[in-house]
Structure formats: C-alpha cells, structure tokens
Amino acid sequence: MKYILVTGGVISGIGKGIIASSVGLILKSCGLHVTAIKIDPYINIDAGTFSPYEHGEVFVLDDGGEVDLDLGNYERFLDIRLTRDNNLTTGKIYQSVINKERRGDYLGKTVQVVPHITDAIQEWVVKQAKISVDDDGVEPQVCVIELGGTVGDIESMPFIEAFRQFQFKVKRDNFCNIHVSLVPQPSATGEQKTKPTQNSVRELRGLGLSPDLIMCRCATPLENAVKEKISMFCHVEPTQVICVADVSSIYRVPLLLEEQGVVGYICQRLDLPIEMRARKMLTKWKEMSDRSDRLLEHVSIALVGKYTKFSDSYASVIKALEHSALAINHKLEIKFIDSADLEPNTLQEEPVKYHEAWQKLCSADGVLVPGGFGVRGTEGKIQAISWARKKKKPFLGVCLGMQLAVCEFARNLNVQLSNLRMELKYVFLFFFITDANSTEFHPESKHPVVIDMPEHNPGQMGGTMRLGKRRTIFKSNTSILRKLYGDAEYVDERHRHRFEVNPELKHHFEERGFHFVGQDVEGERMEVIELDDHAYFVGVQYHPEFTSRPIKPSPPYFGLLLAAAGKLQSYLQKGCRLSPRDTYSDRSDSSSPDSEIAELKF
C-alpha cells in the first residue's frame, strides 16, 4: 500500500480537496486502484449537525455517513463509493480511544495523546486504506489522505505527529507528502511572494514532515524565478515545485498536474508500476474541459434556497447542474435567489430586493428548489414553486423542495382533504415545523400533508434522519423520470430527511393529476412526484446530486436542464438518446441532424 498525505499551509480553503482528488484521478488513469481519506480535526463525530453557513453542505454517503463536502469531490473525480469511515475526525478518534479505555483494553495504563491517540489514527488509516471503493471489489493500491486545516493549527497536532511516526513505520518508499501552499500576488506590486510558502514549509519540517511536492496555489502561472526561489529556500528540486494557478474549471486541475510531470515523480518516488502512456480517462477529461470552455449556448436555472450567500452550501447541487449542462452542451448560468426575498414581507421592508429576486426568477429557464431545514424562507419557496407550476416552467424539487411542492399543490388548488379537521393554511404551517418538536406542535392533527417519520427520535438531533442509499420503485411505466433513468424499474439513491408525505392522502392528489410515480420498497413512502400537463414538474425525496458524475450526470438534473433548454421532448422521442452533435460539439443546436445516434449512458 502506498500513502500520499496532502497537507496545507498559510490559509484554509486553499484547494487541498481538489488537488487531492486530482492526484487520485491521474493515478487512477494509470490503471491503479485508488481510495481516499479525509481527516477533519474538529471534535464533532461527523458533519451531520453543521450549519451550512459555516462548513458548506453535508455530503451523504451510501452507508448514511454525513461527511465533509470534500468526500463528494473524491467520489466525483474518482468515480468511487466511500463509507463514513473514510472521513476521520478528532471526535471519532477520541470516542474510539475512550470506549477502549472504558472496556479496559489498555490494562490500566495512563491513556495519552502519544501513543494512544496517535496509534489509533495510524490504525484507522491502515485499516480503511485496504477497503475496496470500486465496484470490482479490488483492494486499493494507493490511499490519498487529506489533512484538513493548516499546518500549525493546534487541532491538527495529534495528526501531524501520527503521520511523522507513520512515515517511518511504512518506510519511505510507501509514503509521500504533498504540501499545498499559497503564493499571493498583492495588487500593489504585482509580484508573487514566496515568504508565506517558505514559512509554511519550515513549520511543517519542524513538526517532522518534509514535503516531496510543493503545490503552489496562485492567481497567475508561477514565474520561473519564483519557482527557483521556492526550490532553494524549501530544499526541493525545481521539478518538485508545482504551479496550480487559477483555471477556468476545476476539471482542468488534473490536466495541469499531469502536464508538470506529477505522475512521473510519484511513480519514481513511490516505485509504482505505472506505464507512461496515453491515458483514456485523462483524454476524456481533456475533451470535457475543452468543450466546457467553448460552449456558446446558455441555459439559466434559478436556485431558490435558504443558504444562497454561501455557494458551498449547495456544492453537490451546483456540480450536478454543471454536469448536466455540459452533457447538453450549454453554458450554465445559476441565478441564486434567497427564498426569503420572494416573500410579501420583503416587498414591504425592502421592495428593491423583492423585485430583483422576482426578476431573476422570471428570467430563468428553469427552477430548482433544493433541500434544507427550518421555517425561514419556506413561504418564498412555495411562491417560486407556484410560479413554476402556473407558468409551465421546468421545475425540480429535491427533498424539502418536493415536500413543499406537495403543500403548494394542496394549498393553491384547494384539494379536498376528506376526514381532516383543518384548513389547508394550517396544513402548510404545520409542515414548516421541521425540527424535533414538529409532531408536538398540534397533536390533534391526525392527517397532515407531511408527517414526522415514525423512526425519528425527537430527543436527539445527530444521526436520527433517514440516511443513505435506499431503493425507490417506479410505479408508472410512463414516468418521465423513469425514462430518464433508462426505463429502470427501480433506482438506488441517497436520502437525508426526517419528514415524509402522508401516504393516506395519495389518492387525493393523484386524481387531480399530481402523481406519486416512485415509492419505497414497502410502498409506504412517496419518493417521486410528477405533474400532468407540464413540461417538467418533478420532485424527488432523495438527493440525486450526491451520485452525479462529470461524465455521468444525474437523471433528475439532466431532465431539468433538457427541459430548460427546450430539448426534453426531442430527447424522449429519440428513446433518451442524444445525437453526436449534441453530445460532443462545441455548441448545442436543437436542429442538429439525427442521422447518427449516440446514447448517453447513466
């Protein structure tokens, strides 16, 4: 087993995750089996209770693990399936060690950071690195480990010490350290500064780790003089100083690393059995990146959400939209709309903001309402859904977005809910309570539109949702989404929710053209909705964005983009196939010839 540790210096958020993913990708393109581990030094057990404003989205894995969004990058770049144990936190390590101490595993010894915590870290890495993440079940040959935070953080010290020891245990030929550092370029002088990188490398060396590759994040390509200066002061060869300048797309980063000989160096450094030949996977990425830069046609999607001021809150959603837009050869424009700005209260308090938000919504080609929690802004999401339904605009609702679509339909079409002793307005308000007390808000309401799931534990917040990969069975042969999935009878997608549509009300909606075309295996939970007489009005209880890939876009998002570009009906009529011109050209054209058909694989 070969281990590649990726550390970062100067500032956080420097791009370690993308660089780690890119290194893994170029190694996988060489025929190696690659896995990845993300280490987060925070004391939380997992990312499940994080605020999206602070840490971005919570990425959900097949096994229900709620993890850092960087694991989403690993899965998208490497096309692998990770587990919750691929995300190691300080909380998990301390919990494991304390549990061992309580069981008496340490035989009365004084439990300390060194050696007990550091040993536990090393044991976790060695064990997890051997677990297959590919469909073929083959044990990985290379493990890429990203250490979150920056060198010098007090939270990271046990992990730095653990890897200082680890490099000697596994021997030099099996361990490599890549250090990612910032090379700032102040606008006042326009000169690239190396001092932050020098200090960062010096501190890393002082802690016992020496970088084999220094990857310099910079706004513009690294000048030769700057590269030589870093080489001299950081005690590495110039070829070991890699420039990672800002690029038009993150999908160009693997190509950037490959061009600078990273594969050759890692091959020599770790004695890897790599043949230096043209690699099919990287060729596909180059074609994809080139097309992305040359697209001429545009498509716009209004993303109506609660956390729109911080794009990382919807990282996977944005990537899924990008994958689908690229598949139909359109340049994507995302119009971020804070759902609270669409509400009548905003019209009274900040009319300019209100009208600007509605202008964005009305000018979009399609509408997306993603998942979320909490009452704030939900009225605005209802307004956006209502507008999309009435104006026949393509719409996709994910998780909360689907549940709100159900409420909007009941509320605005005055669905007669038999045997219910409440008005629709109350039904809507009840749904807003998405926290642990929601079932206690009005206990006499026996049949709300959306209900708290029976297995939800209201006394605990973390890890109490319906999480992970679940099977959804399509109940209709004519479902648009089923066709987009390749006429599959069922799909396995990832979930993250506490609430569900009340199954007792199913027939009240379906007799009015609002169909629940997908349900769980038991037929009790409503998973997919579709509306008659609409170009594309789809809602899914699951989160399809978590399984979207750059060259395998998620079908629900792909359908939204096709409908927004006016291509959905043509695509369905062709048997869910795209012509070569649609799939590989530099621009999309609805009048493209159909003489030759190429199927888009999901």
Which amino acids are annotated catalytic?
Answer: 399, 543, 545
Hey, what amino acid is at 61? Answer: L
Hey, what amino acid is at 60? Answer: V
Dihedral class, residue 49 (left if φ above 0, else alpha if ψ from -120 to 50, else beta) = alpha
* Residues 397, 541: Cα–Cα separation, whole Å: 8
Exposure class string for 338-375: b at 16+ Cβ within 10 A, else e: bbbbbbeebeeeeeeebeebbebbeebbbbbbbbbbee
* Residues 6, 567: Cα–Cα separation, whole Å: 43
User: What is each CA distance from 79 to 337, 545, 550, 560, in whole angstroms?
Assistant: 31, 14, 9, 23
* Residues 582, 571: Cα–Cα separation, whole Å: 10
Hey, what amino acid is at 277? Answer: R
Q: Tell me the two tokens of residue 89.
A: 């936190």
* Residues 217, 180: Cα–Cα separation, whole Å: 7
* Residues 38, 26: Cα–Cα separation, whole Å: 18
* Residues 485, 488: Cα–Cα separation, whole Å: 6
Bridge partners, residue 66, by sequence: 60
Burial of 67 per CB tally in 10 Å (0-12, 13-18, 19+): buried
Bridge partners, residue 493, by sequence: 470
User: What is each CA distance from 114 to 97, 107, 111, 122, 138, in whole angstroms?
Assistant: 12, 16, 8, 12, 34
Q: Contact 201/234 with Cβ under 8 angstroms? A: yes
Q: How many CA atoms lie within 13 A of 383 on its CB side?
A: 21
Question: Residue 319: CB partners within 8 Å, gap ≥ 6?
Answer: 72, 76, 545, 548
CA dihedral defined by 574, 577, 580, 583, rounded to 10 degrees? 130
CA dihedral defined by 571, 573, 577, 579, rounded to 10 degrees? -80
Question: Residue 203: CB partners within 8 Å, gap ≥ 6?
Answer: 9, 151, 152
* Residues 523, 525: Cα–Cα separation, whole Å: 6
